[in-house]
Amino acid sequence: MSRKFMFAAGIYVLIAFTGCTPQAAVAPGLLRAEAPEPLAVLPQVDVTVLVENMAGGGPVLGEWGWSLFVDTSSRQILFDSGSGQTLIGNARFLNVDLGKIDAIVISHGHDDHTGALGKALDACGPVDLFIHPAAFATKYWKMGSGTEPDVMPLSRDQLRSRVRRLSETEKPTPVCPGVMVTGQIPRRTDFEDTGVREYAFLDAECKTPNPILDDQAMFFRVPEGVVIILGCGHSGVVNTIQYVSELSGEQKIYAVMGGTHLLNASPSRLQKTIAALRQFGVQKIMLSHCTGIDAYVEIAKAFPGRVSWPASGTRIRFGGK
């Protein structure tokens, strides 16, 4: 979800982490997962939260956005870039060298995930970039009685001139050994939506809701199982888990991390989401960004000791045992 929309709605960035610890999307045809290919088991993957709404303390700052530094030991990946104000400073304070990035994965085109993309490219130089082609189309936010264009900060041509390889990921695509991006995610559940149907449109007249087809996730396998990294989960977190399960050939998912856009979810949707998390045996549920505190509390109550909110500055190790 765009940071501009969030500010207009009166929702502001929380800087201090307290520790408390919307309309079905248009289906893009009947997408089906291809036969799962073997996904190498990565011995260890370290994930650092560079940008999140809240900050865990110290000099690290929060902003409405989401960005992760994912280190597989052999490759370093930047997943999203946040809104644009905190990525570079937070990376410096956390001793994350953006110059070592091999690839950038963009979950979708909203500016709270792409706002610092130019700064990231300045820091890392030519890398492989993975993004769904629908992210480049001009779309619109409904802002009160008017509209505001929803556009990527860099055009397709601008990105081509600045990256080593631009991969437009409509289908599942390897990012590096052991790491995949889903590409376009099938919308199969009847209870999930984009979370912004009333505000996000394909046209300036606000007649055609934006299905946010560019929404995609990244996943990898560690010894404990499959880990899914979400941006905003506009495709629906359950749709995403189901698709990754098909792509990986795994009936159980070890961890889900990222935004789930349950901010305005109905009680019914929340309960069905909880049921799906239980069905897939998710052991680590790391909610963030656009999940919403109320949804977080409900899910945390359903899974005692298994739910967390990784704020800016959080470091998580998967595997390594």
The pTM for the full model equals 0.91
Those residues with Cβ within 8 angstroms of residue 80's Cβ, 6 or more apart along the chain or in another chain: 51, 65, 66, 67, 68, 105, 106, 107, 113, 114, 231
DSSP state of 232: S
Report residue 87 as tokens: 């990525």
Strands 179-181 and 284-288: unpaired
φ/ψ (deg, to 5) at 76: -120, 130
If one counts every other C-beta atom within 10 angstroms of the C-beta of residue 266, the result is: 12
Which tens digits make up the pLDDT trace of 25-34?
334 444 555 5
Which tens digits make up the pLDDT trace of 66-98?
999 999 999 999 999 999 999 999 999 999 999
Q: In angstroms, rounded to a whole number, what is the distance separating the alpha carbons of residues 280 and 266?
A: 21
pLDDT at position 5:
45
If one counts every other C-beta atom within 10 angstroms of the C-beta of residue 67, the result is: 32
User: Measured between alpha carbons, how far is residue 159 from residues 104, 105, 122, 127 in Å?
Assistant: 12, 13, 12, 10
Categorize the per-residue pLDDT at 196 as very low, low, confident or very high, splitting at 50, 70 and 90. very high
Assess whether pLDDT exceeds 70 at residue 11: no
Q: Under a CB-based contact definition with an 8 Å cutoff, are residues 212 and 24 in contact?
A: no
Assess whether pLDDT exceeds 70 at residue 16: no
Report residue 183 as tokens: 């590409």
| Strand extents, DSSP E, 27-145 | 44-51, 67-71, 76-79, 103-105, 128-131, 139-143
The more confidently predicted of residues 295 and 15 is 295
pLDDT at position 252:
97
Going along the chain from its start, the domains and CATH numbers come out as 3-14+25-32+41-313 (3.60.15.10)
Assess whether pLDDT exceeds 80 at residue 260: yes
Those residues with Cβ within 8 angstroms of residue 139's Cβ, 6 or more apart along the chain or in another chain: 149, 150, 151, 200, 201, 202, 210
Categorize the per-residue pLDDT at 37 as very low, low, confident or very high, splitting at 50, 70 and 90. low
Q: Considering the chain, what percentage of its residues have pLDDT values greater than 90?
A: 85
pLDDT at position 125:
86
Q: Under a CB-based contact definition with an 8 Å cutoff, are residues 200 and 209 in contact?
A: yes
Q: Under a CB-based contact definition with an 8 Å cutoff, are residues 220 and 180 in contact?
A: yes
DSSP one-letter string for 263-300: TT--HHHHHHHHHHHHHTT--EEEEETTS-HHHHHHHH
Averaged pLDDT for residues 57-72: 95
How many residues can be counted in the chain?
Answer: 321
C-alpha radius of gyration, the chain, whole number: 18
Q: In angstroms, rounded to a whole number, what is the distance separating the alpha carbons of residues 201 and 249?
A: 35
